[in-house]
Amino acid sequence: MEILQIAKTEFTPEVSFNPATNELNFEGVSRPENASEFYTRVIDWVTSYESQLYKNHVLGGKKFDVNISFNFSYFNSASSKMIYQLLESFRRINMMGYNIKIAWYYDEGDDQMLEDGEELSEALDINFDFFENK
């Protein structure tokens, strides 16, 4: 599987997925004009990654940690729906026995971003680790 690397813009986050290290990272602002169009590439990549891990699971392959970090300074409601969809894939990967570790970063004093992470964690029944950017 290829690395997925999308550079951040004024309206979209940096996205960096490396299947060799099982590191998946989002950073920046997510308020694209068309969230579905922007996130389609990301969702397609994660879907392929999930399929690859499923094949490994079926073949009895070794399970490992998958580290995901969300470091958004802002995301709009359309992006929230896409993030939820991605997290559903990560939840399924976790259910296969892989150890999904989600780090949710929020800026100091940004109670809304913290609350957004807590709501996503609770809605999908996935544990997040929360870290305040200072």
Query: Residue 122: what pLDDT?
Result: 95
Query: Which residues, at least 6 apart from 65, have a Cβ–Cβ distance to it below 8 Å?
Result: 22, 98, 99, 100, 101
Integer Cα distance of 74 and 90 in angstroms:
21
- The per-residue pLDDT for range 9-50, each reduced to its tens digit, is 999 999 999 999 999 999 999 999 999 999 999 999 999 999
Confidence of residue 100 (pLDDT cuts 50, 70, 90): very high
The reply to whether the predicted model has a pTM over 0.75 is yes
Integer Cα distance of 91 and 51 in angstroms:
13
The structural domain count of the chain equals 1
Neighbouring C-beta atoms of residue 99, cutoff 10 Å = 12
Integer Cα distance of 45 and 95 in angstroms:
19
- The per-residue pLDDT for range 47-92, each reduced to its tens digit, is 999 999 999 999 999 999 999 999 999 999 999 999 999 999 999 9
Query: Which residues, at least 6 apart from 75, have a Cβ–Cβ distance to it below 8 Å?
Result: 13, 29, 30, 31, 83, 116
Confidence of residue 134 (pLDDT cuts 50, 70, 90): confident
Instruction: Look up the domain containing 9 and give its range.
Output: 4-133
